[in-house]
Every structure is written in structure tokens, then in C-alpha cells.
Amino acid sequence: MLFDLQGKRRRVVQGVYLMLAVLMGGGLVLFGIGGDVSGGLVDAFTGGNNGSGNEIVEERVDKNEERVKANPQAANAHKELVRDYYSLAIAQANDQGVFPADAQDELRKAGQHWNAYLRVEDGQPDASLARVALQVYDPAALNQPQQAVKVAQVIAADSDDAASYLQLAQYALLAGDKRVEKLASAKAIGLAPASQRKAVREQLKQLKAAVIAQQLQESGVEIDPTKPGGAQPSGGQQQKQGGGGQ
């Protein structure tokens, strides 16, 4: 998990994900898309903490939990629970949109009801609900990129536009799903206006570099921008290599 990391590495990895948020937001703005579509990393860092009305939401949650307990096939109740549990979680986020440990339970329950909804949904899943679920699985929330990829696929299939496939490619990069990333990247480039395809390619290149940097940091390799390639072994690795040449 991203926020289980400690010390310097934790700060570096958080910085990488924040950079990913900016890059993802920039790509969606490129297509004139508002916050109702972007979702994910960008919305998770925007804050918007508002605790008003929590009692009403909690009452609705209790009512819908009783509904799904009596009838697990109640799709609408599952849908409302996804939104309401995420609402309760986001109300606990700080001004940077970071969720405290106390919000994890609400996030997990939102994810559980999203999966329950998918099991009972007959036909095309609700894309607007998928945008909420995407934020639930985001690295800033539950940090489950594989689940986020599945949700982003629902959104892309519904929207069938460059922005949605760019978003899918970005989450596939985080999940390490090279097949989906390659297909989604090609689709995003193909659907983009001709005048914006170069910008889309450049953004995908930057995102790949950011993810590689994050992976190198997690493996203990430090990034030195003054050196060719940027990657330098850290700590004992570097000393070991230096000793071998003496």
C-alpha cells in the first residue's frame, strides 16, 4: 500500500502519485472534460471536505443496508450505498484530499457494494456510479489499481472518447497491466483530435516515466537527475559496486 511506506521513500512515492494526479488532470482538461468524468487521482487530491448532512446520509445507509440484507439483489440499494459510503469517507478527508485511517472502513464498504451491484446488474453498469467507484479504488483511497482498471474499462466503454481511454491507460500503468495500457493508449490517440494527438503521446510518455520512477524508488534505487538514465543504486548497493572496482 502506498501510504504504508515510511520516511523518505514514503514522501517520494506520494510525490510521484501527486505528479500523476497533475498529469492525469491535465490530460482530461486537454479535452475540455469536467470533474464529473475525470474522477480518480485528481478528485482525490482536491479536497472538498464537507461534513454537513452526514446524519441524513448515515440514516440512508442504515435503511439501505437493511434493504440489501433482506434482498441481496436490490441493485438500487447497492448503488446508493456505494455513493453514500464514499460520501462518508470523503467527509473525513483533509484539505489535501488524503483519507485518514478511520475512512478506510467506509471506502472498503463502498467497494464491496460496487462489486455486489455488478453481480446483480442486468446489462450495462451505471457509468456515473463507476466514476465514484474509480475514486474508491484510487491510489489515494484504497490503492487497488487492478480494481481501478476494471472500473475504468466500464467508463471507457460507455464514453468511447479519448479522455476516458487516456484515463484507462493511466490506471493500467499504475496496475502494471501492459496489455490494457497498450490497447487503451492506442485507442486514446486514435480518438483524439488530430491537433491533440502529439500532446496525448507526450503525456503518456511522462506518465510512464513517473511510474518507472516510483517503481525504482520502491526497489531502493535512487533517482539522480545529473546522471545518465537518472537511476543510481542506493546505500549498500552503491558501496558494493564501488568496492568491486578496487
* Helix (H), strand (E), coil (C) string for 121-175: CCCCCCHHHHHHHHHHHCCCCCCCHHHHHHHHHHHHHHHCCHHHHHHHHHHHHHH
Of residues 82 and 25, more confidently modeled = 82
Q: What is the mean pLDDT of residues 147-176?
A: 95
What are the backbone dihedrals phi and psi of residue 8, each rounded to the nearest 5 degrees, phi first? Answer: -60, -40
Handedness of CA 74, 75, 76, 77 (dihedral sign): positive
Q: What pLDDT, on a 0 to 100 scale, did the predictor assign at position 98?
A: 87
Q: Which of 6-10, 58-62, 88-92, 157-161 has the lowest mean pLDDT?
A: 6-10
Q: Give tens-digit pLDDT for 146-161.
A: 999 999 999 999 999 9
Q: pTM for this structure?
A: 0.74
Does residue 21 carry a pLDDT above 50? yes
Does residue 51 carry a pLDDT above 80? no
Does residue 36 carry a pLDDT above 50? no
Q: What residues does each domain of the chain span?
A: 2-244
d(CA 181, CA 97): 27
How many Cβ atoms sit within 10 Å of the Cβ of residue 29?
A: 13
Top-level class of domain 2-244: mainly alpha
